Amino acid sequence: MNPQDVLLQQLRDIHGAPDVPWWPPAPGWWVLAVLVLFALFLLVRHARRQYQVRKRRERLLHYIEWIETSVDPQQAPGEFLSDLNRVFKLVALRAFPDSGCAELTGNAWVRFIDGNLPENGHAKGLDVLAEGPWQRSPEFEAEQLAELARRWVMLHG
């Protein structure tokens, strides 16, 4: 036998590389998994906050509706105005916690509300919130004031 044949017989046939194992994944997949989990966390947190805001706005809008149906502005204008003022104050305390709006009363409170509404100029009908709840028979348009409260809730609630 030829020495070359002996050497050729000792060679193994061509073989492929072993299959790549699926576990553990490469470092890039770990980074991608962490990023995806973080994105999911942010998405869930955002969705939860949006849900809470929507529910809070719904409750406040239902409260305004309840005020309109259960409190007659002609018979009890002070109660009507106080209840609507409570809605304005609740929303302001939540939306502007560091503005000092909790201490505002009277005309300063009306200016604060007016300054945070998107219209340029004075929102008609807000002046009654300054002194109306303590007057004997203040004149105001209940529907217009309730609509301003609804807009306030939708903007800042």
Amino acid identity of residue 133, one-letter, is: P
Q: Encode the chain (157 residues) as per-residue pLDDT tens digits.
A: 688 888 888 888 888 888 888 888 889 999 999 999 999 999 999 999 999 999 999 999 999 999 999 999 989 988 999 999 999 999 999 999 888 888 998 889 999 998 888 875 566 778 888 887 777 788 889 999 999 999 999 999 8
- On whether residue 142 sits in a domain, the answer given is yes
pLDDT of residue 54: 96
Tokens of 145: 């004031």
DSSP string covering 48-63? HHHHHHHHHHHHHHHH
Alpha helices in 11-157 (DSSP H): 27-70, 77-95, 106-115, 128-131, 142-156
pLDDT of residue 87: 95
- On whether residue 52 sits in a domain, the answer given is yes
pLDDT of residue 122: 60
pLDDT of residue 120: 53
Structural domains counted in the chain: 1
pLDDT of residue 6: 84
* Upstream peptide bond of 133 is cis (omega within 30 degrees of 0): no
- On whether residue 132 sits in a domain, the answer given is yes
- On whether residue 7 sits in a domain, the answer given is no
- On whether residue 71 sits in a domain, the answer given is yes
pLDDT of residue 49: 96
Domain range for 144 is 23-156
pLDDT of residue 130: 84
- On whether residue 127 sits in a domain, the answer given is yes
